[in-house]
Amino acid sequence: MFNNIRRRLAVLPLLSTAAFAGDPATPAAIITPSASGFDLTKFINAAEVNYVGSFDMDFDNSVGNLDTHAFQASAFLSKPIQFAGDWQFIPQFSYEAMLMSTNGPIPSLILRDEDLHELEFSFYFVRMKDTSPWVYTAWLNPSLATDFQGVNGHDIFVDAAGAVGYQVNDHLLLGAGVAGLNLTGDINIVGGPGFAWQPNDQTLIALYGPNFKASYDVSPKWRVGFEVRPNGGIWNIDTAIGDANIDYSNYRAGLTSSHNIAGDLWLSYGAGMTFGGEINVTTMEGSKPFQNQLDDLESGLYGFVGLDLKSW
C-alpha cells in the first residue's frame, strides 16, 4: 500500500504509453507511437470539474469518524508545445478544496474541521516518434497546499517523476514510472507499472501506478466502468503546536457511469467504498504526536459527480 500518494501521481505511467497528439494542435486526443487507434481519451480530459464525497470513515484508534468533501477543477493550459526535436511540453493547472469534518470526541488540538486548499501547476514532458514504439515522459508538479493560515515555505510542495512506455501491439501498451513525492520535505519514492489493453473498440482496461480503470461503451453516448484509485493529499496547516502537515490518504473502489451531454462534454458519476485509509498530523521535525489517536481509518462510502471536457 502506497502512503502519502499525491493525487496527480495517478496519471504518470499511462502518460508514458499515451500522450497528447493525433492532431498535436488539439490537447483532446491521445495517440500511441504507431497511431494504432487506442482511444485513451476515455481516461484523460482536457478540462474537468468534480465533487468527491467520502463518508463515515471511523477512526481505528478513537471514537468518531471523518467525512471529506473535495471540490476539484483542472485544465490543460495549451496545446502540446514542441521543443528540442521530438519532445512536447504540456502545462496543466489544478485546484482542489478539501473540506474535512470530524464527528465524535476527537480533541480539537489534534484535528479540527479543516478547510484545505491546493493549487498545482503540472508540467508534462513527452518524447515520442511515429517510427518507434517507445515513449518517454517526465513530470514536474510544484504546488501550494495550505489552510491559508500563515502561508510560508512549508506550504510549498514539489513532486517529480519519470516514466517509459512501449507499445507491444495494436491492442497492448506497457509502461512503468517512478516518482519522488514531497521533494521539499520528507521525500517519499514510489514506483509502479502501467498498461493499457483494448481488446475491442468498446472495452478498455488500464493500470497506471496506483490506479486501475476498466470501461465499456454501452453506446457512443454512454460508458460504464469500474475504478480503483487513490484519494487524499498532504497540506501544511497551523495548529496549537505550530506548523504541521496533515496527511490524508485512502483508496476508493466503485462503479462509474459517463454520459455524453453535447459535443465533447460528458457527465460522469459513481459510487463505492473507501479502504486503506490513514490520516496523521506530522510536525516539521517529522514526529507524529497524535498517531495513537489518529492513524488508520476504517472503510467508508464515497460518491462523485463531475463534468468532463474531452477537447477544446
Domain with residue 40: its CATH number is 2.40.230
Would residue 1 count as lying in a domain? no
Cα 138–chain centre separation? 16
Sign, CA torsion 284/59/277/7: negative
Res 205: pLDDT: 92
Given pLDDT bands bounded at 50, 70 and 90, which one contains residue 176?
confident
Res 40: pLDDT: 64
**For 106-129, b where at least 16 C-beta lie within 10 A, e where not — what string?**
beeebbbebebbbebebebbbbbe
| CA dist 48 → 74, 135, 294 (Å) | 6, 26, 33
Would residue 240 count as lying in a domain? yes
Summarised one tens digit per residue, pLDDT across range 3-61 is 444 444 444 444 443 333 333 333 333 333 334 456 666 777 889 999 999 999 999 98
For residues 22 and 40, is the Cβ–Cβ distance under 8 A?
no
Res 21: pLDDT: 31
Summarised one tens digit per residue, pLDDT across range 262-296 is 999 999 999 999 999 999 998 888 888 888 888 89
Higher-confidence residue of 70 and 177: namely: 70
Give the domain extent around 250: 7-309
Would residue 296 count as lying in a domain? yes
Of 8-22, 128-142, 157-171, 210-224, minimum mean pLDDT range = 8-22
Q: What is the pTM of this model?
A: 0.86
Domain tally for the chain? 1
Would residue 2 count as lying in a domain? no
Summarised one tens digit per residue, pLDDT across range 178-230 is 888 888 877 888 887 888 889 998 999 988 777 889 999 999 999 999 999 98
CA-CA distance, 226 to 178, in Å (whole number)? 25
Res 69: pLDDT: 97
